[in-house]
A and B are shown apart, each in its own frame.
Chain A
Amino acid sequence: MEKIICVCGHENPVGTKLCGKCGRPLTEEAKMSKIVDMKYDGAAIRSKTRNKSIVDKIWNFFSSVKVGISLIIINLIAASIGTIFPQEFYISVSTEPEKAAYYEKTYGSLGKLYYELGLSDVYSSWWFQILVGMLAISIIVASIDRGIPLHRSLKNQRVKRHESFMKRQRIIGEGSITEGDSSNTLNLVEEKMKKLRYKVRRDGNALLAERGRFSRYGPYINHVGLIIFLAAVMLRLVPGFYVDESMWVREGEMRAVPGMEGYFIENEKFILEMHDNQATENQELQGVNVVAKNYQTNAKLYKQTDDAVPGKDDDLELVKEYSIRVNHPLQHNGYSFYQMDFRLNEIKAMNFELTNKETGESLGAVSVDLTNPQNEYVIDDQTKVQLLGYYPDFSGFENGEPQTKTPTPNNPAFIFKMTTPEKPEGEVSFVAIQQTIEPNGDNAYKMAFNSVETRNMSGLTVHKDSSIPFLAIGGAIFMIGVAIGSYWNHRRLWVEQLEDGSIRLAAHTNKNWFGIKKDIDAVTEFAHLPKYIDQSENDDAEKEKEGDSTL
């Protein structure tokens, strides 16, 4: 590999700005400048060293700060587009045409366009994920590209730096000491800097005092946190890591829990309670009459024994009994059951009276339990009602056969055969809500509708997110990195005693020049050092922005 050989004899990789050993400027640019660029301490950024193979080209693309910032901006724009209208996730319709209709109806033609462009589900779109992925690559590559050379150059810092390095620092000073014995000066500097909690190293007539070096790692720690965070989000896609399923359970029903193998949930009761106050002024303004006080599902969670196969439900053991309320999900093994929806008053049983049409006299009551209809309902030895057919959601006849369009009892219909002492051969009647058909002509009896029994239904979601601890760790590391990079700074002071006993000093900090000047003021007074100057202040142009060069 090509090397740049410094005057001092040290070999530096191509792209190095300041010699890794003595600090002499190596590039023309660095030689010309009055104050050297101390980013990465002058080490060669890896991507700047070679640019040949395709791998290098891709690498260099992602390590570029310009590309990184562009990616951040593109990601921000894409993410904010997703907040213009609610995402599909928050809309309570399930099928595609319903969604399309919803966006058009609610938000007009803009909404339609929004849906058609796929912006209604932007965070799951492939291009958004690729954008986030590219940002992640950029963060990782840039961190490796810059972090490793920086780490190396910080670790291998020489105490003694060349005059040309020292003179190009922002804070410099040169001259003889103001009073006392010059042979003791470096000892005094060391003593004071140690008191100021600097780490001091000496090499012959040179001294390096350094403090807060770890703050240079802040941005990289921050990046590590960010990557853990993104990885945790990605982990959600791994089966079993993230479960978000919904289910309906009627009162009295037991259902297998989707996404939670071997578990069953039973809904014992759904309770909806309302406040019984008079409508307040605000309520009236909002057109609200009653306000819910409590939504509650009394649920029982069962588990199958481990070796059991699905379907054999005679060996279930009760795991937990819990009243699911708002903010009080049933929790077990990292799974939470939340109550998301409910439906009231689904028909559970229908009560009829076997009635003589002419006299209105009842021969007895028949109650059909829709969860378990029977073949016949016996009233006495001469009177019985046979159930020939049951259609939970009657939708009309096809070839003379009654049809049901769903398994839900929204519009229950029955075919009864009524056997009475008067009509021992039986009379057939088709009974639906507000509809009776008597296929064999005029019947003497009818099944008079009396009352219904209803039950409620709870809409539950099963939720599990094992990525939360990783998200928390990633977030914490991120914040620690931000804090380290923001509240600490890397201060260095180089002092060299020249042969004639005079002192040359230079100082650098990545931020907070005020702070380092205070330290140098103290040591100047203590060790009687020559007065220093701030070269950038003399320029009268505060070019360096505070907090700009955190890397």
Chain B
Amino acid sequence: MGRRFIYLLMAAPVQVLLLAVIGMPAIYVLWLSLHKTAFGQVPEFVGLANYGFVLSDPYFWRAFVNTFVVVNIVVYVELGLAVLMATLFASGMPFRRLLISIVIAPYAVSEVIAVVIWKYMLEPDVGPVSAILASLGLPELAWTTDRWAAMTMVALLSIWLHLPFSFLILYSARIGLPKDLYESAATDGASAFDRFRYITVPLLMPAILVALMFRYVFAFRLFAEVWLLTGGGPARQTEVLATYLYRHAFRYQEFGVASAIGWLMVLATLLIASGYLRAMYKRMLTGDA
């Protein structure tokens, strides 16, 4: 009992720190979400009215669908590419260091600059990508007028920006896998695909789950790519949850509504992440691989 108390005491500073920097703001936002307030207004308790407003707002549901679709495309395409590239790079390809530098370079580019670059590349009249599409007889990507073309561009941009994160996690996990397993499998006549299917994927799964969960959480907060590229337009067709929240918080100063949106985003993220958390728990803590 005495030893247990000392353990708790030693862990207390971290608990206090977590409570202070994560718990308190979250509780304050929860409190705000139950009030109607703006600058110069005394908060007025409104119960669950803010949640009711948000859940009955068609713009919220459009933003939710956009976010859900883009996040799933971004996360799975990105992870697929990261697994393939990690496998390719670990197999000992030439100029590996140079190529790794190129792959992780977008991580050093700020989101604002990335949006400006991509916006220019896909500019209808003078953009180089538009010119290539035109020279191939293909139509321009109508990302300023078509909802799904815009969301495709947002997804491409997001994958380009964040691929290095998934790649670094999976590449470091892949080069840590024991070589003798691959040598034994090769001796037994396993093809390259079999080795990938039966050795690489199962052994990489814990790292894949970690990358998946982190990317889900980060991607759900997708903001700069949409806000800077389309501003949520045309006609609010490309709005995502984070831009919807931003609009209510900082343009309309509806802090109660914005807080409710924030909490709904947290709950949605938790719901999606819970499946992966459960799988991670099973695989990593109980050794049920």
User: Do they bind each other?
Assistant: no
Q: Which residues of B contact A (CB under 8 A)?
A: none
